[in-house]
Amino acid sequence: MNLFDPLQIRDITFRNRIAVSPMCEYSSEDGFATDWHLVHLGSRAVGGAGTVLTEAIAVVPEGRISPSDLGIWKDAHIDNLARIVSFLRRQGAVAGTQLAHAGFKASTDVPWRNHGKPVPVAEGGWRPIYSSTAKGFTPDSIQPEALTVDAIARVAHCFGEAARRSLEAGFELIEIHGAHGYLLHQFLSPLVNTRTDQYGGSFQNRIRIVCEVVAAVRQVWPERLPLWLRISASDWAEGGWSIEDSIVLAQEVKTLGVDLIDASSGGIVPSAKIPLGPGYQTAFAERIRRESGILTGAVGMITSPEQAQHIIATGQADLVLLARELLRDPYWPLRAAHVLKQNVQWPKQYTRAHL
């Protein structure tokens, strides 16, 4: 495989194996997409990425990380998103969105103000927030309420409604966010989930909400369109969610209609010791791919064209997702094609700068 080989998933052809990873921009008001999102996402499509995913987009207002998060909890959000989708698709990129619920990480400030501390209700925050259990991320965090069984069913329903709105907006790809210590991860991890009902305890109980969310999304998301799931493949903490758990989960959700696992890690406990380094999470994608038979995406400190090409060529993953490197250089895919001596089409408006 080659980084610039097309990838076929269901009826969608991705022009290459480079995806723009979801990156929170904290630039919305009441969940609405703005011109910032159009330019931010659109420039990466112009820059040659095969897939452009929006930031985590909240399926309910109380599921936002911050008051400035993108949302898809009401039909009024569709038109602004559709404008962005239309532009992405005209540039040849597959337009995707990541559906999310922040759980006990909700109602926090934007990272460049107050260091992401909880936002008081008087300043635009909200209470209550929710999790699998009534325990916050840290003792200084907002302490959540445990979701009732009925409320869990509502969460799954809201993911399904968000999928319907995503389809109406023209998206061709959905990724469900089950990583980084957000709500679905709060059910998966035994470090957080101490429930004693059908959603806690055993492995099958802890993955139940993820399976129900996948089923709710697939019920409205057409068979012809791809569905991805992002997970934290390891909690990086003793007694937590493990790569072995991730492999079994991947096998389970594959039967429910998930096509690709986006293999990230961490985020559930602040005490985790994560060995950061180039491609530090790629081994998770490789092992899930090999042992579960599902497509995978590698993410995490992937920066050079040679590194990305090596991941794809050696079968460690089926695509790479870049985040910070694409903030530094929106045209990284075009530069990578030059470095790797691949012939790709530049936007006609930019041909005078063709390398």
Answer yes or no: 199 catalytic: no
User: How far is it, in rounded angstroms, from Cα 217 to Cα 2?
Assistant: 31
The Cα 74–Cα 193 span in angstroms is 29
Q: Which residues contact 40 (CB under 8 A, 6 or more apart)?
A: 25
Active site residue: 26, 182, 199, 331, which one? 182
Report the C-alpha gap between 198 and 189 in whole angstroms: 15
- DSSP secondary structure, 76-103, as one string: GGHHHHHHHHHHHHHTTPEEEEEEE--G
CA distance 210 to 187: 8
Tell me, what amino acid is at 202? S
102: nearest Cα among 262, 298, 300, 268: 268
- For residue 107, give Cα distances in angstroms to 23, 53, 63, 65, 206: 18, 23, 8, 6, 25
**DSSP, res 260:** E
Residue with tokens 């957080």: 192
Task: List the catalytic residues.
Answer: 182
